[in-house]
């Protein structure tokens, strides 16, 4: 499941440094100049999950496989990007392809790090990006609106679409993002072909200095205040420190490094978990001697859909699913013990998979 979260922000706010910290499979050049990144970097990120480690401890498999999401490092946007400034059309196109946005905002002072927007101001930085995305969406909506107006004269379906587009246009003209418009699922589906940039869920990263890693600072507080009505989360972290932790392969070295900074866990773990939830994803597990593995699905998926991420044949030939809740698996210590205690359930095609289910599928092709 190649669901992607894209890292965006102004130039030189720490996007590529963050990408390098989270990515297992690729590294981006991080330099102190404009448009260091041009083509997007794409990396796979393991989703930390203590439950996977616990299941592996109980089962003792030959291998353990975490679930992953894709993170995309997109070049810095600048004022005027919606009109093509700074290769804006190319970069906005990159954003259009991702499923969620991680917006990195500079919340630190450092005269050695290039900045084009004057004094540090996380609120105006956020608004620059918001405005460029909104203007690009307005352009897309207006193009489709002109077609819908003609079709609405004879097509009732087009008339409904026209109403949605007109509401979107008004909302964008007011400087508001589509995700705050409150469209229901059917309305979202009606304009899904536009891939509107401001309809994507957003997670904010306040990139602070080392002194502010644990408490935040006046800049991160300004950002929190600015987004308090967006139902959005703000993660406070120092991207450089997180990148240094990720470069240490030995877990004991990582632990010693974090202790020096008074950290219980990498802030990256919180970021990855938040991005995972932002994409409305959840995890189920398969657990056997060969492997214990975490699998990514969307919230609300039924058992056959969940089986399809293992292999499409599992969905086509789905018969039943054997299900043990994670808590029961841990409580009884094994599949056999849970079965004997009557805690293994047989579920059919309508079963909605729960986060943490340990599953085995019966299928026939």
Residue 290 lies in a domain: no
* Domain containing residue 122: CATH number: 3.40.50.300
- What is the distance in angstroms between the CA of the first residue and the CA of the last residue of the chain? 22
Residues 209 and 63 occupy one common structural domain:
yes
Residue 54 lies in a domain: yes
Is residue 83 a known part of a binding site?
Answer: no
Residues 215 and 105 occupy one common structural domain:
yes
Residue 35 lies in a domain: yes
Residues 111 and 71 occupy one common structural domain:
yes
> What pLDDT sits at residue 110?
83
Residues 215 and 308 occupy one common structural domain:
no
The pLDDT of residue 68 is above 80: yes
Residues 342 and 231 occupy one common structural domain:
no
SS3 call for 221: helix
Contacts for 308 with CB less than 8 Å, ≥ 6 apart:
314, 315
> What pLDDT sits at residue 41?
81
> What pLDDT sits at residue 125?
92
> What pLDDT sits at residue 154?
79
Is residue 14 a known part of a binding site?
Answer: yes
The average pLDDT across 130-143 equals: 91
Residue 341 lies in a domain: yes
Quick check: 192 and 178 in contact, CB under 8 A? no
Residues 310 and 251 occupy one common structural domain:
no
Strand partners, 285: 294, 358
Residues 237 and 318 occupy one common structural domain:
no
Residue 192's domain comprises 4-277
Residue 285 lies in a domain: no
The pLDDT of residue 39 is above 70: no
* Domain containing residue 351: CATH number: 3.10.20.30
Residues 318 and 351 occupy one common structural domain:
yes
- When comparing pLDDT for 265 and 40, which is higher? 265
Is residue 15 a known part of a binding site?
Answer: yes
The pLDDT of residue 353 is above 50: yes
> What pLDDT sits at residue 53?
96
Lowest mean pLDDT, pick from 35-49, 57-71, 133-147, 332-346 = 35-49
Residues 323 and 264 occupy one common structural domain:
no
Residues 260 and 343 occupy one common structural domain:
no
Tell which residue, 344, 357, 353, 354, has the closest CA to residue 304.
Answer: 353
> What pLDDT sits at residue 119?
84
The pLDDT of residue 20 is above 90: no
How many domains does the chain contain in total? 2
Residue 293 lies in a domain: no
Residue 151 lies in a domain: yes
Domain end position, chosen among 217, 243, 277: 277
Residues 51 and 128 occupy one common structural domain:
yes
Residues 309 and 265 occupy one common structural domain:
no
Is residue 283 a known part of a binding site?
Answer: no
Residue 219 lies in a domain: yes
Q: How far apart, in whole angstroms, are the C-alpha atoms of residue 82 and residue 260?
A: 44
The average pLDDT across 231-256 equals: 90
The pLDDT of residue 109 is above 90: no
Quick check: 59 and 289 in contact, CB under 8 A? yes
């Amino acid at each position: 499941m190649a669901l992607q979260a894209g890292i965006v922000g102004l130039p030189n706010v720490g996007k590529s440094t963050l990408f390098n910290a989270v990515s297992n499979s690729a590294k981006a050049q991080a330099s102190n100049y404009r448009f260091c990144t041009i083509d997007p970097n794409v990396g796979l990120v393991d989703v930390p999950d203590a439950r996977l480690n616990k299941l592996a401890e109980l089962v003792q498999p030959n291998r353990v496989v975490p679930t992953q999401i894709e993170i995309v490092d997109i070049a810095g946007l600048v004022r005027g990007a919606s009109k093509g400034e700074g290769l804006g059309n190319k970069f906005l196109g990159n954003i259009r392809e991702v499923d969620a946005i991680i917006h990195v905002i500079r919340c630190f002072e450092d005269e050695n790090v290039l900045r084009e927007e004057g004094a540090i101001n996380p609120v105006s930085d956020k608004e620059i990006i918001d405005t460029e995305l909104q203007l690009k969406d307005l352009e897309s909506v207006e193009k489709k609106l002109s077609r819908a107006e003609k079709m609405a004269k004879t097509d009732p379906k087009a008339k409904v679409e026209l109403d949605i587009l007109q509401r979107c246009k008004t909302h964008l003209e007011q400087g508001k993002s589509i995700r705050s418009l409150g469209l229901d699922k059917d309305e979202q589906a009606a304009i899904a072909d536009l891939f509107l940039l401001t309809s994507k869920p957003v997670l904010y990263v306040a990139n602070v200095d080392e002194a502010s890693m644990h408490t935040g600072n006046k800049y991160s507080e300004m950002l929190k205040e600015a987004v308090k009505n967006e139902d959005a989360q703000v993660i406070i972290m120092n991207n450089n420190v997180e990148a240094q932790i990720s470069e240490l392969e030995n877990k004991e070295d990582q632990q010693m490094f974090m202790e020096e900074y008074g950290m219980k866990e990498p802030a990256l773990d919180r970021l990855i978990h938040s991005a995972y939830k932002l994409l409305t994803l959840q995890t189920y597990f398969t657990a056997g001697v060969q492997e214990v593995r975490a699998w990514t699905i969307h919230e609300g998926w039924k058992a056959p859909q969940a089986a399809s991420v293992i292999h499409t044949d599992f969905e086509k030939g789905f018969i039943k699913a054997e299900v043990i809740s994670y808590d029961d698996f841990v409580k009884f210590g094994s599949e056999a013990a849970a079965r004997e205690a009557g805690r293994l359930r047989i579920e059919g095609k309508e079963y909605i998979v729960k986060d943490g289910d340990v599953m085995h599928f019966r299928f026939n092709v």
